[in-house]
Amino acid sequence: MKIGFYPGCSLTGSSREYSESVKALAEAVGFELLEVPDWNCCGATAAHNLNHELSLALPARILAAAEAAGMEEVVVPCAACYSRLFVTRHDLLENEDLKKKVSEIIGTEYKGTARIINIIEMIERIPEEKWQTAIKAPFAHKVACYYGCLLVRPHKILNFDRPEEPQTMDAIMKKIGANPIDWAFKVECCGAGFSVSRTPTVARLSGNILTDAIERGAEAIIVACPMCHSNLDMRRSAIEKFNKKKYNIPVIYITQAVGLAMGLDRKKLGLQRHKVPVNIPVETAASGTQTRAS
């Protein structure tokens, strides 16, 4: 199966382990990812607050490039990029005059033929028979599935999952042998783009997320957003300073968790790049022994 792939800025820089795990998982299940040619920044997170036309033109150029390359479907692993591309596609298809204006700005016609999917939807494309043979080391741990703000909002446009109690990530975790917990912070904000400008705010919000997950018995937090991962993982020292306590719980991309369950190499999944070590045991199906994902 061939799928268009928009990595965005984060996956080529601060979150390259996410890109590594996306590509490793795709290869393992027989998906061929075709990168959108000559892609540009989608404008997240500031463009839509500063210039409305620019906030549409940046994603529209990406979508037009995907169309020109013959891509019918494009997976966008970054939740912020996914939101910007999906919302732009919706807005332009709803307003023909706006679509023509943006097409003039980007210098090429935008038609709206390429569909946008997030990383969870890509994983859901894995055939059921593949799941039955691919799981080599069940991820038998209690996990907190953290969706964040942008995977399920705005609900009326995305219509992807329940906005307050989403379940799609939980369902995938159950497929790999994990036990998703019920908890209160599935869709609460981690602080998002305030990571640099208002780090104490991020420390407070992300600290609440970590605290609730730990108090409910989670051994790992599962994410599908590089900004969420950055705030919960990279900002761990700021969180600990703000709350005056230590947090050891690792934060793992959903593609890394699925990859571990499929027995993929830990370095190919980028686990060594995390600030907080992923020191949780992974049971190998063949021997029943445990190794540590680190």
* pLDDT at residue 208 in the model: 97
Q: Are 225 and 80 in contact (CB under 8 A)?
A: yes
Q: Which are the contacts of 232, defined by CB distance < 8 A and separation ≥ 6?
A: 146, 190, 206, 209, 210, 221, 223, 239, 251
- Domain boundary residue among 56, 89, 120? 120
Residue 67 domain flag: yes
The pTM assigned to this predicted structure is 0.93
Same domain for 113 and 160, yes or no, is no
How many CB atoms are located within 10 Å of the residue 289 CB? Answer: 10
3-class SS at 264? Answer: coil
Give residue 162's domain range: 135-293
* Mean of the per-residue pLDDT values of the chain: 93
Give the rounded percent of residues in the chain with a pLDDT score beyond 90. Answer: 86
pLDDT tens, position by position, 98-107: 999 999 999 9
Please determine, for residue 289, whether its predicted confidence score (pLDDT) is greater than 50. Answer: no
Q: Are 22 and 255 in contact (CB under 8 A)?
A: yes
pLDDT tens, position by position, 185-212: 999 999 987 887 789 999 999 999 999 9
Same domain for 141 and 173, yes or no, is yes
Residue 43 domain flag: yes
